[in-house]
Every structure is written in C-alpha cells, then in structure tokens.
Structure 1
C-alpha cells in the first residue's frame, strides 16, 4: 500500500507531460502566426505589383507587365 501511495504522489507531482503539452500548444500558435504573417505579406506584395503594373500600363503604354524590363525610357 505504501508503494502505491508513493507512485501516486510521484505521478501527481510529475509535470513533464503538462510542460510538453504547453510547449506543443505554444509551437502551434507560433507556427499559425508565422503562416498568417507570410500570407499577409504575400498578398501585400502582390497588390503592390498589381498596382505598379496598372500605373505603368496607363503612363508608359505598357501592354504586358511581364515585358516591363524590356521597355526603354
């Protein structure tokens, strides 16, 4: 009976499993935040290039934005 009580106390006082779960949740939150940030930056960059392309089309007479590098001033 004494050995059972000792094992029960050790199990109750062991916090390794709880710490592992907490770290796993923290890593998941950091990963999700990183993915959302990367997607947001990608959308912003895409919008910036689309805006630049539309401005070049109106001003410089560029018909295709993939050939902007070939246009000479």
Structure 2
C-alpha cells in the first residue's frame, strides 16, 4: 500500500493534470465574465432599438 502511495507522489503526470485543470478553470471564468459583459451590451442595444421601434409605431 505504501509503495503505491509513494509511486503516486513521484508521478509528475498528476501534477501536470492538476495544473491543466486549474488553467482550464481560469479560462472558463474569464470567458463567463467576458460573455456577461457582451450580453449586457447587446441587451442594452436591443432594448434601445425596441424603444425606438415602439416610438415609430405609435406615431407623432
């Protein structure tokens, strides 16, 4: 049992996999934050267009 544990501690593949997982998680968080900003900008633009179309339909 101890030899398996010692072999796992010497294995650097697990450390690399953990580093890749952390980098991937960081990239995912950055993408989510960026997409949230894009969503807010697009939503505001479309709401403005909707308001202008409503104003045009109602007439003077």
Q: Which runs of 4+ in 1 moved over 3 A?
A: none
- Unaligned runs of at least 5 residues, structure 2: none
Q: Could you tell me the TM-score, scaled by structure 1's length? A: 0.55
Q: What is the alpha-carbon distance in structure 1 between the residues aligned to residue 54 and residue 24 of structure 2?
A: 45
- Unaligned runs of at least 5 residues, structure 1: 64-73
Alignment partner of 1:25 is 2:48: no
RMSD value over aligned CA atoms?
A: 2.4
Q: Residue 16 of structure 1 is aligned with which of 2, 13, 17?
A: 13
Q: Could you tell me the TM-score, scaled by structure 2's length? A: 0.64
1:56 Cα deviation after fit: 3.0
Q: What is the alpha-carbon distance in structure 2 between the residues aligned to residue 24 and residue 57 of structure 1?
A: 48
1:57: which partner in 2? 54
Higher gyration radius (CA): 1
Higher-RCO chain (CA-CA 8 Å, sequence separation at least 6): 1
